[in-house]
Amino acid sequence: MPRNKARHSAAISLGVMGAGFLATFPLLGYGAGALLHGGFEAGLVGGLADWFAVTALFRHPLGLKIPHTALLPRNRDKVIRSLVNVIENEFLTKDSIKSKVGAFLAGDRLLTLAERYRGDAVRAIVAASGYAARSLPVERLAPFLARELKRKGAELSAAPALALLRDEALARGLDEKALHFLLQKAEGILVRDAARDQLGAMAAGALSGVKAGGLMGFAVNAFAGFMSEDKLGALLQNAILSSLREMRQYGDHPLRVLLQGEIRKLIEELPNNEEVIGGLESAKTNLLEELDLEGYLTKWLQELKTRAIAFVQEERYALEVVAPAVDSFLTRFREEPEKLDAVRSWTEERVSGIVDENHSRIGALVRENLDKLDNKMLIEMIEDKVGSDLQWIRVNGAVCGFLIGLVLEGLNLIF
């Protein structure tokens, strides 16, 4: 709209000069008329000259291909190269960009901006957390984790695990606890009637199988005839139970000491027991082959993903997790400026490297955007930005020409 208004004003000024030039022909015989005629004539010439000059910048005046007209379309590449060169080497130089970034990253200013936009940072972290949770590639992670766990499981040796188990068992006194457990279980079994009957039957069978002659045979037969299976079972049951209770009660009982030593020895030799190691290795291999580890991990990761998505969507995640973390970082940087300086230096180095690597892309981006415009669009864009000022050049040319014409015609009349 401003450009059209300026063009309308320029056309009016040129029309006024032309009309005045024609209207003052009858007044040439008078001094004032001649003076006005000379002014309108010069104004008409100035207005036409400036119209020609302004028009020649963008197109051929009246469609006539006059030399040195339509300057912008004819010199499009040269203009673009000059514009790119000015932007790269005059306006947006590497040093100017780095200095602006350095000023922006000044410690206090950076911390003030961070504190001012703390809420935006919290929302951004929450949004990023939600995106990360939703984007968790369960279908790719599960097979990878399953393969790695199986590989690590296959590499794991049973001997070191048994050594750890041995050390932990001895440190916790499991040898004594194991013996106490066995004695307690044995006592619990022997108090049963079935155990007593079994002991009686075994003793009776053993006596009947004894072969002895003479007085010894007579004594054995007499004892076997006197003692029934029930009596033999009760006798043995009471004797064994008495021994078990003594072993449980007295820590220095010889049989207890012997059994506990055997258990301790068994535990100590676990890492060197080839039979145990072989059994564990075989069990491990079978477990890894038969276990559907990928299916289990897929289900577990999917559950974890669902819970994570739900958690980051809760208000307490932002209030109780993210906000305190952001406040902690800000407080730490405020109390320890050297850490903020380290962050600023690291950021400046990264930005400087990016600027050095991509500075040439600024000009390339400008050229790329300009190349998207054909001559008509480029001219319309320039006229839209500076066209109104160019049209006022025409107005000024007509007015200045008129005034200069008055002066020159006045001098002509005087002399």
User: Which range has highest mean pLDDT (77-91, 104-118, 158-172, 341-355)?
Assistant: 158-172
What backbone phi and psi angles, to 5 degrees, belong to 339?
-70, -40
CA 310/CA 304 separation, integer angstroms = 10
- pLDDT for position 304: 92
Average pLDDT of the residues in 304-308: 92
Element (H, E) at 302: helix 293-313
Which residues have a Cβ under 8 Å from the Cβ of 222 and sit 6 or more positions away? Answer: none
Query: Which of 34-43, 123-132, 263-272, 351-360 has the highest average model confidence (pLDDT)?
Result: 123-132
Find out whether 210 and 257 touch, Cβ atoms under 8 Å. no
225, pLDDT greater than 70:
no
Residues 394 and 50 sit within 8 Å (Cβ to Cβ):
yes
* pLDDT of 308: 92
Predicted pLDDT at 212: 47
Dihedral angle computed from the Cα positions of residues 384, 390, 391 and 393, in that order, rounded to the nearest 10 degrees: 170
- Its sign, for the CA torsion 174, 176, 178, 184, is negative
Nearest to 351 by CA among 107, 111, 101: 101
Mean pLDDT, residues 41-67: 74
pLDDT for 1 equals 46
For residue 227, what pLDDT is reported? 61
Query: What is residue 218's predicted lDDT score, i.e. its pLDDT?
Result: 45
**Does residue 391 carry a pLDDT above 70?**
no
What's the pLDDT tens digit per position in 259-274? 888 888 888 888 888 8
Q: Of 4-13, 96-105, 150-159, which one has max mean pLDDT?
A: 150-159
For 398, counting Cβ atoms within 10 Å of its Cβ (0-12 exposed, 13-18 middle, 19+ buried), the class is buried
The pLDDT tens digits of the residues spanning 125-162 come to 999 999 998 998 888 888 988 888 888 888 878 788 88
The predicted pLDDT at position 351 comes to 73
pLDDT over 70 for what percent of the chain? 76
Concatenated DSSP letters of 24-73: TGGGTTSHHHHHHHHHHHHHHHHHHHHHHHHHHHHS-GGG---TT-SHHH
Neighbours of 165 (CB within 10 A): 15
CB 124 within 8 A of CB 258: no
0.75 surpassed by pTM: no
Summarize the confidence of residues 203-230 as an average pLDDT: 56
